[in-house]
Amino acid sequence: MAQPTTVKIVGPAGTGIKSIGRLLSRILAKHRFFLHDYSEYPSLVRGGHNTYQVSFSPQENFAVFRTVDFLFSLQPGHWQEHQKEISPQGLIFSEETPPAGKLKKNFLFFPLSELARDLPPVVANTVSLGAIGFLLNLKKEICQNTLATTFPQAKKENLRAFQKGWEFAQQHWSEKRLPPFSQGKGEKEIVDGNEAFGWGFLKGKGDFYAAYPMTPSTGTLHFLAEKQKEAKIIVRHPEDEIAVANMAAGAAFAGARAAVGTSGGGLALMNETISFCGIAEIGVVFYLVQRVGPATGMPTWTAQGDLLFAVFSGHGEFPKVVIAPGDQKESFQFSWQALNLAAELQTPIIVVSDKFLAESSANFSLEKQQKEVKIKKGKIVINPREDFRRYSWQNKDGCSPRTLPGTKNGEFLANSYEHDQSGFSTENAFVAAKMAQKRMKKLKKALQITPKPQLFGRPKNLIVSWGSTKGSILAAIKNSSKWGFLQIKTLWPLHPEIGKILSQAQKIVLVENNQLGQLETLLKTHFSFSVKKRLLKFTGRPFFPEEIKNELEKI
């Protein structure tokens, strides 16, 4: 496994770890490198221990790696937490006394405080960016232009700070400088998963988005709020998640393509509305960005513990669709596709992401991706007959034509009670059974139009997983002739193709960021198979390719 180069920046909250890290990612993208980044931070405004790391390469790169080549500690006392991550030739930069022991040869004194003494404190971190730019043999002009356009109001100060770092590295570490990289073919733009979902919402003609701020889904709320005037959409921040879900249901009933964003605790409050949308047949997209639970848990860390919660959310039996993007590209795709699914199936659509995917960046071309967007509005009747029946069960796919409020002859009742074909409440046994069966027919149509499972390589020895583990798995088995990977994209309803692929595998390895192997539990409700090994991680940290590769070599 040829690894990309990895840079890691560490320090306390308030020192601009992520801002300077994201800027480095933009610079690397402009050099056309393929990149993935990742940040860690506790739920603190100041202090604590924050990290940012990016893995990049001129060749295609699927993930961020754990092994670090350049580690910059912006304040003393932070690099020590990452000693086991340093590669044998890796370098540590800090303004501390070099450590005794085997890492002494990897340690370089970096007097950041002294270099930044005559600079505004807010740009001190840019000094480290200058040193990184020199050591990576990046093009100075690209670095400076990116810096100037990113911070136009502090252009002069940032450029001076960058120059200080570049010159110091040039004077003291020229022998450590990497040779020039070959020209890559990566995209020049980067987005994180939340931004990608937001772009998908816009390109999918979404026009109503509501959310109560809840890490790690808040990035989409901020992104869409900034664009609401330009895009002519409505973005709302109500008083709580119950109001969020109900406002979206009302907007969708009125004809909007509506979505909400939240995390596990917020979806718990939205469950009654999910059930209401199920019986009233209102299509709303629920963007669930997972974090560590239960309860508040670890709100700024990643997990895949809400799979079964999403699939079985809401009380009673009704159809819903649960899909899970595996990377930033799919976050964009599944966003606009979810709006289409909501319009066509007239039922709740849950898009399951997590902190790792939502807040990590990768190369992305919006121009290329938006060419694939297709808008589907479902069965909307403009000129209904006088005997219009909104919930007619005379449809093979269970999706009855609907009208929008104000349509002549299109009146109907929409409430939370069981109802007849016109929406009038009923407790008649025959009608109740017919309506329940009518709604559940939608799952058959869902199997035709939801994302299919994707098989990478051959199924003889098979890794099975879902969501954000995709990149690390692909990186771990890159160039491998032994292992294949089955990515489950639609988690409900389960596609029959999954069973066919599982039946061909001799060895199956399950990879999930949870403790109970929830995907295995879900798959075994439909398919019979045995798992050779379970790689389960529930520390709040994502899987890295090295971890997966090491475990596969033991099998």
pLDDT in tens, 121-180: 889 999 999 999 999 999 999 999 999 999 999 999 999 999 999 999 999 999 999 999
Which of 144, 176, 208 is the last residue before a domain boundary? 176
Does residue 75 sit in the same domain as residue 154?
Answer: yes
Residue 36 lies in a domain: yes
Does residue 117 sit in the same domain as residue 206?
Answer: no
Residue 517 lies in a domain: yes
- Band the pLDDT of 455: cuts 50, 70, 90: very high
pLDDT value at position 15? 87
Does residue 383 sit in the same domain as residue 421?
Answer: yes
Does residue 205 sit in the same domain as residue 340?
Answer: yes
Q: Report helix, strand or coil for 505.
A: coil
Does residue 401 sit in the same domain as residue 363?
Answer: no
Residue 388 lies in a domain: yes
Each residue's pLDDT tens digit, 12-40: 988 889 999 999 999 999 999 999 999 99
Q: Determine the residue type at 37.
A: D
Q: Read off the pTM.
A: 0.97
Q: Residue 45 pLDDT more than 80? A: no
Each residue's pLDDT tens digit, 252-283: 999 999 999 999 999 999 999 999 999 999 99
pLDDT value at position 101? 78
The gap from C-alpha 460 to its chain's centroid, in whole angstroms, comes to 29
- Band the pLDDT of 98: cuts 50, 70, 90: confident
Does residue 405 sit in the same domain as residue 474?
Answer: no
Q: Residue 70 pLDDT more than 60? A: yes
Give the sign of the dihedral formed by CA 522, CA 524, CA 526, CA 527: positive
Residue 184 lies in a domain: no
The gap from C-alpha 318 to its chain's centroid, in whole angstroms, comes to 27
Which of 450, 474, 500 is the last residue before a domain boundary? 450
Residue 155 is inside which H or E element, if any? helix 155-172
Tally the domains of the chain: 4
The CATH code of the domain that includes 102 is 3.40.920.10
Does residue 19 sit in the same domain as residue 42?
Answer: yes
Residue 322 lies in a domain: yes
The Cα–Cα gap between 470 and 487 comes to 7
Residue 252 lies in a domain: yes
Does residue 409 sit in the same domain as residue 521?
Answer: no
Does residue 388 sit in the same domain as residue 507?
Answer: no
Does residue 409 sit in the same domain as residue 471?
Answer: no
The CATH code of the domain that includes 512 is 3.40.50.920
Does residue 133 sit in the same domain as residue 253?
Answer: no
Q: Report helix, strand or coil for 409.
A: coil
Q: Residue 326 pLDDT more than 70? A: yes
pLDDT value at position 47? 79
* Cβ-Cβ contacts under 8 Å for 226 (sequence gap 6 or more): none
Each residue's pLDDT tens digit, 382-427: 999 889 999 999 999 999 999 999 999 999 999 999 999 999 999 9
Residue 1: name the closest of 553, 555, 554, 460 by CA: 553
Which of 450, 469, 503 is the last residue before a domain boundary? 450
The Cα–Cα gap between 121 and 129 comes to 15
Residue 518 lies in a domain: yes
Give me the residue label for tokens 């007619």.
392
Does residue 20 sit in the same domain as residue 98?
Answer: yes
- Full domain range(s) for residue 472: 454-552
Residue 172 lies in a domain: yes
Picking from 68-77, 95-104, 393-402, 414-423, which range would have the lowest pLDDT averaged per residue?
A: 95-104
pLDDT value at position 102? 79
